[in-house]
Amino acid sequence: MKTLSQSPLDPAFVQNPYPFYEQARAAGPFFRWSDYNMVCTPNAAACNAIFRDRRFGRETPAELAPIIPAHLAPFYAVEAHSMLELEPPRHTRLRSLVLRAFTSRRINALQPEIEALSHQLIDALPEGPFDLLTHFGQKLPVIIIARLLGVPEAMSDDLLRWSNAMVGMYMAGRDRAREDRAIAATESFVAFMRSYIEARRQDPRDDLITSLIAAEEAGEKLSTDELITTCILLLNAGHEATVHTIGNGVKTLLETGHRATASNAETCIEEILRFDPALHMFTRWAYEDIEVMGHTFHRGDQVALLLAAANRDPGVWDESDQFQPNRPVKPNVTFGAGLHFCVGAPLARLELQTALPILFQRLPKLRLTEPPHYGDVYHFHGLTRLLVQAD
């Protein structure tokens, strides 16, 4: 297996990781990324196979569980109840309870609200050049997920701040200052959710938190700690990636001279999700000895699935480096696959398919006023700002 080195903190790489992915692809289905000391795959078939293989999972094998430094305990206490960090049977229990409340009926009912909110945000845009991320991209998903959960909208700014600080824990090269910010945010978030869940227990409403409290399957219910973690997971996962998909998508459309419209919404949004996803790297642990496409993994090995690379696998997509908004839809791995497939994918798709056509219909002259710049972090792939002008 080839070893490749590429600092995930190198500015040229974070601005455009795709040439590295292409180089990696030439090395075969797997390569060792020396900076992570990890076997990685840019190959679509390998990503799909590993995502769907129950002999791989997200939960750390017991014998490898890291010792958590005391100052990080509050963060990992929340993660301990996260379906995203667990495997069956706990994952099955949490996910099925959440899916009882997070139904497609409840999501589809949000469409008129997403439409109205998109118009309101566009009505409120300032004159002259403005940052589409702060005025539109960041607002829409956080307000929608807050409304869905039933959290007061006035809390949106706090949620955004806490969530941004917490995801710092997943970034390459995090330092003590970033950790301290993440822990402070975790503590505030948990305290808020605990009191809010208590309030909904006393005073049930027609919202997702109330449904989560009531959700019951085979006599099982979510405990208060599980409810807190689930709400935090939905709020965090629920907007960060969607915000950056809006940003990356509008950037790509403006750079390539395309538009999202009511008639191309489905293919165009799928192509945005495929072409420049907001999250690039997810890892799995091997739980036994497993051979995948010629490489043998042993129990305790980790493998990184490079989603954005897999989405440009020329074995799956013709002219995979081209953005083609009418490309016939084929499954990509932007939302993962298998057991942990993104719970929020239908909501994210609905938001994108609703909001972007409205944006381009309302602002037909929308154009970039400066070259967009991605944040200097990996594996999150999102813009720091998206300066545009509407006339």
Residues forming the site for ligand HEM (CB under 6 A): 58, 83-84, 95, 145, 233-234, 237-238, 241-242, 245, 277-279, 282, 334-336, 340, 342-344, 347-348
Q: Provide, rounded to whole angstroms, the least separation between the CB of residue 45 and ligand HEM.
A: 17
DSSP secondary structure, 319-370, as one string: TTTS--TTPPP---STT--GGG--TTHHHHHHHHHHHHHHHHHH-TT-EESS
CA 373 to chain centre: 19
User: Could you tell me which residues are beta bridge partners of residue 315?
Assistant: none
CA 142 to chain centre: 13
**Token couple for 41:** 């795959």
Tell me whether residue 98 or residue 290 sits nearer to ligand HEM (CB atom).
Answer: 98
Q: Provide, rounded to whole angstroms, the least separation between the CB of residue 273 and ligand HEM.
A: 6
Q: Provide, rounded to whole angstroms, the least separation between the CB of residue 385 and ligand HEM.
A: 19
Tell me whether residue 145 or residue 250 sits nearer to ligand HEM (CB atom).
Answer: 145
Tell me whether residue 372 or residue 390 sits nearer to ligand HEM (CB atom).
Answer: 372
Phi and psi dihedrals of 255, rounded to 5?
A: -70, -30
CA of 224: how far to CAs of 61, 94, 118, 201, 261, in Å? Answer: 26, 13, 34, 10, 43
Q: Provide, rounded to whole angstroms, the least separation between the CB of residue 177 and ligand HEM.
A: 27
Which residue minimizes CB distance to ligand HEM? Answer: 344
Q: Provide, rounded to whole angstroms, the least separation between the CB of residue 150 and ligand HEM.
A: 13
Tell me whether residue 213 or residue 231 sits nearer to ligand HEM (CB atom).
Answer: 231
Q: What is the 3-state secondary structure (H, E, C) of 185-233?
A: HHHHHHHHHHHHHHHHHHCCCCCHHHHHHHCEECCEECCHHHHHHHHHH
Tell me whether residue 95 or residue 390 sits nearer to ligand HEM (CB atom).
Answer: 95
Q: Which residues contact 315 (CB under 8 A, 6 or more apart)?
A: 43, 44, 45
Tell me whether residue 84 or residue 358 sits nearer to ligand HEM (CB atom).
Answer: 84
Q: Provide, rounded to whole angstroms, the least separation between the CB of residue 226 and ligand HEM.
A: 13
